[in-house]
Every structure is written in structure tokens, then in C-alpha cells.
Amino acid sequence: MSKITDTVSRLAAPVAAELGLELWDVEYVREAGQWFLRIYIDKDGGVGIDDCEALSRALDPILDEADPIPDSYVFEVSSAGAERELKRPSDFARYTGQTVEVRLYGPVEGSRSFIGRLEGRDEAGRVSLTAGDRRYEFEKAQVAQVRLRIV
């Protein structure tokens, strides 16, 4: 799958930039027996439906020509959202100091979810978080998801 998302990212990023948008993420996932190609975008001031439509219209013929996905799929363009998932090292660097929710695969101190201030993510993928007066550090293998939280 990563080959498809990498290819689509390379095709979509310059098109998004021409429209004044930032490519946030690309997903290619199977849900309810159907494949979905989802492109998430961002821009200063927020993303509107017109931004999503403009990118979809501009990118659709490029994807048709490049044909990076052999099967049929549903193509969607969406805002990354206010409570977006952080995935790349640059995401963690950009949002250090912000409130996040860290969801874990298994419980730590009886909880699988921690909300607090993001302290960072190191080169090994460990995520550091301050919640109240406690600092937590979670190994990469423990972390299922990290999302911004609007409080």
C-alpha cells in the first residue's frame, strides 16, 4: 500500500501547492468491501469545500493518466481536520507544545488514552507528553495514534 500512497503523494503535492494548499496525508484503505483513496489537505485559515473540490478536479485527470491504482476505488479529498492525526516527524515538531491525545494499543496505568501537552517525538519514535504534573514517554510500539485535541 505504501507504494500507492507514496506515488499519489508525489502526484498530489505539487498540484495542492499550486492551489495554495498543503498536502497533509494520503490514505488508501479498504472499508466495507470497497477501496478508498483519501487525500487530506490543509491551509492557513482552514480548508473549505471549494478547496477540496478544486484539488479533486485538478488531480482527477492526473491520477487517471498516471493510473497508480489498478483496481476501482472511491476518490475523496477532505480537510485534515482540527483534531488531525500526527504521523510524520515534521507533524510532531510543528505541534510540540499543543494539546494532543495519545491512544495506546494496551493500557498503561489502567488507561489506553492520555491527553496532555506534546513534548515531542524523538528519533526512535518515542512520544513524550505532559499531563497535569506527570510526564509520560511512550515507546513507538505502544502508540496506536496521536491526534491534536481542541480544548
pTM of the shown model: 0.83
Is residue 74 included in any domain, yes or no? yes
Dump pLDDT digits (tens) for 38-91: 999 999 999 999 999 999 999 999 999 999 998 899 999 999 999 999 999 999
| CA–CA separation, 32 and 138 (whole Å) | 32
CATH assignment of the domain containing 100: 2.30.30.100
Q: Are residues 57 and 8 in the same domain?
A: yes
Between these two residues, 34 and 2, which has the higher pLDDT value? 34
| CA–CA separation, 120 and 93 (whole Å) | 7
| 16 Cβ contact list (under 8 Å, min separation 6) | 22, 23, 41, 55
Q: At 145, is the secondary structure helix, strand, or coil? A: strand
User: What's the domain range around 61?
Assistant: 2-79
Q: At 151, is the secondary structure helix, strand, or coil? A: coil
Is residue 108 included in any domain, yes or no? yes
User: Residue 48: which of 77, 79, 18 has the closest Cα?
Assistant: 79
Q: Are residues 54 and 94 in the same domain?
A: no
Is residue 84 included in any domain, yes or no? no
| 125 Cβ contact list (under 8 Å, min separation 6) | 139, 140, 143
Q: At 36, is the secondary structure helix, strand, or coil? A: strand
Q: Are residues 9 and 74 in the same domain?
A: yes
Task: Examine the pLDDT at 28 and tell me if it is beyond 80.
Answer: yes
Q: Give the pLDDT mean for 88-100.
A: 95
Query: What local confidence, expressed as pLDDT, does residue 15 receive?
Result: 98
Domain end call among 58, 79, 100: 79
Domain end call among 49, 79, 109: 79
Q: At 144, is the secondary structure helix, strand, or coil? A: strand
pLDDT-derived band at 2, boundaries 50, 70, 90: confident
Query: What local confidence, expressed as pLDDT, does residue 119 receive?
Result: 98
Domain end call among 50, 79, 108: 79
Q: Are residues 114 and 69 in the same domain?
A: no
Kindly state the cell numbers that stand for 30: 479498504
| CA–CA separation, 147 and 37 (whole Å) | 21
Q: Are residues 96 and 56 in the same domain?
A: no
Is residue 57 included in any domain, yes or no? yes
Task: Examine the pLDDT at 1 and tell me if it is beyond 90.
Answer: no
